[in-house]
Structure formats: C-alpha cells, structure tokens
Chains A and B, each alone.
Chain A
Amino acid sequence: MNSRTMRVLQAAAGMIVLAAGWEILSFVFPHYLFPPVPEIITRTIEVLITGALLVDVLLTAGRIFGGLFGAFILGSILALVIGQSKTAENFIAPVLTFFQGIPALSWVVFAIIWFHGIEFRVLFIMVMTTLPAFTFQILDAFRSMSKDLFEMTMSFRPSRWTLFRFLIVPTIVPGILTAWKVNLGNAARVVVVAELVGATGGVGYQLLRQQQLFDMAGAMAWTLQLVLFVLVVQQTINAIETWALRYRAVSERAM
C-alpha cells in the first residue's frame, strides 16, 4: 500500500469515527438535538439535487469567490506598491494592520449601517476581512524574490512589464496560492456571518432559517454544503499548485 492510499484511509477512518460518535449520541439524545447520520446525509443530498436550494449554495460560493477575488486584486496592487516604495509601506501597512484587528462581526455591523444593497454589503465585508492577509502574504512572496535572479534578469535590460511577467509573477505564484488557501477558510466563515445578519439568500440565510425552525438536521446539511465547497476548492487549488510548482524537486515538495 503506498503512502497516499494510507493517508486517504487514515483520513477516512477519522471521519468514520466522528460519524459513529455522532450516531451514538443520536441514540442517547433526542433527534432534534442529534439527528441520525443517515438523515443528515439525506438532507445534504436533497440540498444538492434540489435546484431552488442549490441556488443558495451557489450564491454563497459566488459571494466567497467575488470577495476573495476583489481582495486578491486589491491586495496584489497594494503589495506591489508597498514592495516598491518604503513611503507607501509606511502609509499603508499600519492601516492594514489596524484593519486586521477589527473583528469580522464589526465589519458586518459597519456594512449594514453604511450600505443598502445586500450584495455590496457582503462584498465589502469579504474584501475588508481578507484584504490584509492577501496583501501581507503577497508582499512576503514579493520580498522573498531572489536578488540573484533579479540581477540576472536585469542584465538583459527588460521592460517593467517583461520583468513582471518573467520574474515577478512566477516568484509570487506560490505565495498567491498559499494566500488563497488560507483565506478561503476564513472567507467561508465570514460569508456565513454576513449572510446570517444581512442577506435574503445563501447558506448563512438558510442556517438562520434552520435555527428558527429548530431543525438540527437542516443546519448540519447546510453546514456540510459549505464544508464540501471549501474541500472542493482546496483540492482544486492543490491541483493547480501541483501543476504550477511542478518544477520543484519531489524531495523539496515533500519537505
């Protein structure tokens, strides 16, 4: 048995133990507190195959991607500006650090007070909560650029655009992928809070409805939608990473 199969089996075993523990609890406690695992699975599949319900999942997914993409674009620009100017760093970095300290729930409150449109509120909250991390992670990747490779590339006298394309982008790609992976989980949590408070659709909104209906199986089913979404996207990013960083030695990647 190879190590990959072993890892998959170990991960599956952990999940089976968790599901078994939950199932035991469902025998001990009333079903409205701990619904049986088969019921949760049925409800989860129901959401996935019912068009009207799936729209809510896709809406949340769209909000996560929209927010992350916005923060990524803005963060990349800020990182490149900070990376090239000490003065810009002195102005921008403290503000981003300050933003980092503001809880996601505070941004939700600010957004509700400041804006009317639901989608804009959610986008604002997502961007503000993930922007500092994106900026600092991309900045770190930019700063870790090899001075040797920079000098070598400069010896050919490239234009700024060529330098960006041939050196800077490949240098920061690993940092960008890591930033996406880290921020994805964070964004999935924040979007639910944002939808819970101020949206009329999406996983967060549906979670709020399940709470009002006191429907634990429904709450679990909607939670699992988000977990499944994060897992699928994480795996997609991992696949992109494996492809984009295929130049790295196997031993190096395994470290």
Chain B
Amino acid sequence: MNSADPVIRFKEVSKTFRRPDGRGDFVAVDKLSFEIVKGEIVAVLGKTGCGKSTMFNIVAGLIEPSAGDVRVVGHDPFREFDFFRGKIGIVFQNDRLMPWRSALDNVRLGLQILNSDPKLANETAHRWLARLGLSGRENEYPHALSGGMRQRVSIARAFAVDPEILLCDEPFSSLDEMTARDLRAEFVRLVRQSNKTAVFITHQINEAMEIGDRVLVFHHPARIAYEARLNAGTSENDRRKIHADIMRVLSIEQAPADASA
C-alpha cells in the first residue's frame, strides 16, 4: 500500500438485508463512496437507523457488503480476516466488558488474543488503565465500576493493541454530559498523540464537530448527504454555518448527495 493511499476506501458499497418477515429486502447502505486518509478523524452523523452502524460493521469486517468494494489499508476487511488482527480497535456504544474479567483482564483481552508476551501485555494494560485514570481499579470487576469507568476500560482495551484504525460507535452516548465531555477530550488527545485514523459515529452534531476533522452526514439508506471539513482554524462563524447546514440536512428526508460545505 502506497503512503498516499487512503486508509479506508468505500467504492459504491451497498448492503442489503432480508426483512425479518421475509417480505423483500431492506437497503441499509446504498452505493456509498468515501475515502479516509491516515491520521484523519472522521465523524459520521445521521439519524437512528440510517445505516451508520452497518457501514461501521462493514469497515470492521464484521459483515460483508452486498456490492461494491471496501479497502482498509489496501485489504478486504471481511475476506482477509487474519490480516486485520490487531489493526482495528473498536470502541462500542456500550462498554461490552466481559463481566467475568477484571478491568485489567478486560484490557488484556486483545493482547492475549494476539498472543502478546504475558508480561508485556500486563504492563501495557496497566499503562493504559493508568493513562485513563483507573490506577488502583485494575482488579475491580465491571459491575463494581461506574458507567464512565467502564467506558474508559473499553477505550483502554481498544488502544492497548495499538491499532492503526479506531472505530467508535457512539461510545459516549450513554454517559452523562460531564463524563462524556471529559472522555471525548481524552479520546481526541490519545488519537492525535498516536496519529491514528479514526471513524467516530455519533448522532450529536456538537460531538461530531468537536471531534472530527471531517463530518459526514448520512441519509437513509446510508449515503453521504453532506460533508464538511473542520480544523483549528475554522472560524466561529463557519462553525455556526456548518452546524446550521447539518441541522437543515438532517431535518429533510431526502437530501441531494455530494452537497458539501
């Protein structure tokens, strides 16, 4: 893979599911195309059921697209299952901690699956828990931790394997605003420090604009209805305009594709 190549590339990707009642098909993703380059944080916004999570699962290689071509670091994430061992880290909407494992063991999980040296895995897990402010809680089971702490453990679990790509599916949506804000800031800092590529799914406009270098707004079935780039130099006026545009796009049922800011 060339260094200039996109890390994630969707080309005319579609995903169709059979309806549970057996009456026809349901299109979740419709000829979706986009590219994400190394070190970029892309926030994906959309209403519930617009196909964001389906797109997420396709990138993660958990489901296979019905049509089109998906390349992640130049490879097919679904068919080349073993190639992606340790290359993709995922932070899910809920913490998805194994209740029978302590905080430390949950963070170690990915490293154990990757057959890392046990001593090194232990040190890495300790270090990540410490970075996320959980020193002293290593041996606690998930039920003894607060929602915010559990989500910190799941972030530590994703970062511990040092993945090239981070996928986050509304990871802070179930937390209170204060905890979510702290974790958001912490998350962005960690991603920037390690120059990772991240896809961040959210349904909150402010969160998307705070986190993303780029914001993609999806319409149902998943396709890009709006796209905006943001950086530290984006003025307050431009931010307000982008916010208003996103609001407008989200409020209309069908928006023209490729509308960009």
Which residues of A are in contact with B by a Cβ distance under 8 Å?
148-149, 151-158, 162, 166-167, 170, 245, 247-249, 252
Given contacts A156-B85, A158-B113, A166-B112, contact A247 B141 (CB under 8 A): yes
B161: contacting residue among A156, A158, A170, A247, CB under 8 A: A156
Contacts of B94 in A (CB 8 A): 148
A151: contacting residue among B62, B81, B84, B141, CB under 8 A: B62
Check if B60 sits within 8 Å of A157, measured CB to CB.
no
- State which of B64-72, B95-103, B128-136, B217-225 sits at the interface with chain A: B95-103
Contacts of B142 in A (CB 8 A): 247
Residue interface bits B74-100, CB-to-A below 8 A is 1, else 0: 000000011011101110101010111
Check if A157 sits within 8 Å of B98, measured CB to CB.
no
Interface size class of B (residues with CB under 8 A): 20 to 34
Check if A154 sits within 8 Å of B62, measured CB to CB.
yes
| 24 contacts across the A-B interface (CB closer than 8 A) | A149-B96, A151-B92, A152-B90, A152-B92, A152-B96, A155-B60, A155-B62, A155-B89, A155-B90, A156-B85, A156-B110, A156-B113, A156-B161, A157-B84, A157-B113, A158-B113, A162-B112, A162-B113, A166-B98, A166-B113, A170-B98, A247-B141, A247-B143, A252-B143
Does B121 reach chain A (CB closer than 8 Å)?
no
Check if A156 sits within 8 Å of B86, measured CB to CB.
yes
Contacts of B90 in A (CB 8 A): 152, 155
Residue interface bits B29-68, CB-to-A below 8 A is 1, else 0: 0000000000000000000000000000000101000000
- How far in angstroms is the closest Cβ of chain B from A125? 36
Closest to B81 in A: A157
Not counting A162-B112, A245-B100, a sample of 18 additional A-B residue pairs whose C-beta atoms are within 8 angstroms of each other reads A149-B96, A152-B96, A154-B62, A155-B60, A155-B62, A155-B88, A155-B89, A155-B90, A156-B86, A156-B110, A156-B113, A156-B114, A166-B98, A166-B112, A247-B99, A247-B142, A247-B143, A249-B144
Check if B98 sits within 8 Å of A148, measured CB to CB.
no
